[in-house]
Chains A and B, each alone.
Chain A
Amino acid sequence: EVQLVESGGGLVQPGGSLTLSCAASGFTFSLHWMTWVRQAPGKGLEWVAQIKPDGSASSYVDSVKGRFTISRDNARNSLYLQMNSLRAEDMAVYHCARFGTATHMDVWGKGTTVTVSS
């Protein structure tokens, strides 16, 4: 079964750091672009970052540039999101997702919740 399972969410103070993980199974992880998409409470989905299959290139939404880093370990079938200098507006459920082709995200995880509060 193709599956993505996120972990690492939790409560963090403003300015703090957190690293999210996404464990992939059931497919050849190293062949796919991967992405993080978040949903803030009461809001819509927001694309956060994406990374090339070999990890050599990545891109970010402007609001997280310089604060978040997406990475992957193809040997461990894992995707990561290192989040620094967290702000209240980063509070959301973070989903990892697989790009089926370059045009859409075809497999998603249930998400992990990040709460930013003092």
Chain B
Amino acid sequence: QSALTQPPSASGSAGQSVTISCTGTSSDVGAYDYVSWYQLHPGKAPKLMIYDVSKRPSGVPDRFSGSKSGNTASLTVSGLQADDEADYYCGSYAGSNNPRWMFGGGTKLTVL
């Protein structure tokens, strides 16, 4: 199975909104509401930002939101801040297939 498809880069000015897409198949993203999003800053542990498509863990600002339509999930970051600049990866459960968990190739978010 191929990785989930994300755009390699996205950008927006401080204060603006940006949306990152994550396209899978009917065997992973389309099959389960188990899409999650992770923020990776260089040298730091990955941080869970969204789980189960649209739920936010405690401590994650409500500027981060998630959605899904069919085989494509999306992460929207509103009110962009300098610290939002990072790599973002989507992940999805893929059931009893192998691999059990699929990730995207990552999107580098730049805050202009």
Distance in angstroms between the alpha carbons of A105 and B57 in the assembled complex: 11
Determine whether the beta carbon of A44 is less than 8 Å from that of B103: yes
Shortest Cβ gap from B44 to chain A (Å): 6
Cα of A109 to Cα of B44 in the assembled complex, Å = 8
A-B contacts at CB below 8 angstroms, number: 71
What's the tally of chain B residues with a CB closer than 8 Å to chain A? 26
Stretch of A11-19, A23-31, A45-53 with 4 or more beta carbons under 8 angstroms from chain B: A45-53
Q: Contact at B46–A108, with CB atoms within 8 Å?
A: yes
* Per-residue contact bits, chain A 50-69, to B (CB 8 Å; 1 contact, 0 not): 10000000010110000000
What are the residues of chain B within 8 A of A97 when measuring CB–CB? 46
Interface size class of A (residues with CB under 8 A): 20 to 34
When distances are taken between beta carbons in the complex, the residues of chain B under 8 Å from A105 are: 36, 38, 48, 91
Most buried by A among B51, B52, B101, B102: B101
Q: Within the complex, what minimum Cβ distance (angstroms) separates A111 from chain B?
A: 8
Q: Which residues of B contact A (CB under 8 A)?
A: 3, 32, 34, 36, 38, 43-48, 51-52, 57, 89, 91, 93, 98-106
Looking at the assembled complex, report how far the CB atom of A47 sits from the nearest CB atom of chain B, in whole angstroms.
Answer: 4
- Chain A at the B interface: mostly helix, strand, loop or mixed? strand
Q: Is A72 an interface residue (CB 8 A)?
A: no
Asked if residues A104 and B52 are in contact (CB atoms below 8 Å), the reply is: yes
Shortest C-beta distance, B70 to chain A (Å), equals 19
Pick from A46, A59, A100, A108: contact of B45, CB under 8 Å:
A108
| Residue of B whose beta carbon sits closest to that of A43 | B105
| A106, B60: Cα distance in complex, Å | 12
- CB contacts (< 8 Å) of B93 on chain A: these are 103
Residues of A within 8 A of B104 (CB): 44-45
